[in-house]
Structure 1
């Protein structure tokens, strides 16, 4: 497996882990455990940063006229799809936590 493929798999893996933590946080909300939900969302954000760092490195390579350009392929598109989906899920779940917490007087 090439370095690029490893980086792409890193994005997919981090994005999946981040999204998983966010949905786990939503389950905590269903149990009324807002503190646990917020802790899981913080874990989700930290995991997401790993995917973001890899993505940023690939984008910088793409922009650097002296660097070898990363090959755009289906695997990279798939990774970007996973990353964007995990970000959307996390953002939406953060908002849901706020809504439920406010509605139930948990804040």
Structure 2
């Protein structure tokens, strides 16, 4: 697989993960916590796909293949890192919404 294709896979799936995480947050804001869980699962799956692509490139370099470092590859890495960080933060925010919901219903 060409480097550019792998890079675009990382960007695509990291972007999908971010979108799913934000849908999870919107669901939590509407007290739809079951939906929220599903969106987070989808985000996890997208991150796994992106991470697998990233790992593929890293393994190619470890095996002696010259992997060209490009601004686009750095951009893809940034997308993946951001998606992981935002999903983690959103999961914590969802937990806060759950606690608020419980307290409001007491």
Instruction: Give the structure-1-normalised TM-score.
Output: 0.91
**Which residue in 2 is equivalent to 1:14?**
13
**Which residue in 2 is equivalent to 1:63?**
62
Once the 2 structures are TM-superposed, how far is the Cα of residue 69 of structure 1 from its aligned partner?
Answer: 2.0
Once the 2 structures are TM-superposed, how far is the Cα of residue 44 of structure 1 from its aligned partner?
Answer: 0.5
Unaligned ranges ≥5, structure 2: none
- Aligned Cα root-mean-square deviation (Å): 1.4
Aligned positions of 1:1-107 closer than 5 A: 3-64=2-63, 67-105=64-102
Could you give the per-residue CA deviations for residues 21-80 of structure 1, whole angstroms, max 9, x where no partner exists? 00011010111101100110001001111000001111112222xx31210000000000
Runs of 4+ in 1 over 4 A off after TM superposition: none
Secondary structure of the corresponding residue to residue 105 of structure 1: helix
Instruction: Give the structure-2-normalised TM-score.
Output: 0.91
Once the 2 structures are TM-superposed, how far is the Cα of residue 105 of structure 1 from its aligned partner?
Answer: 1.7
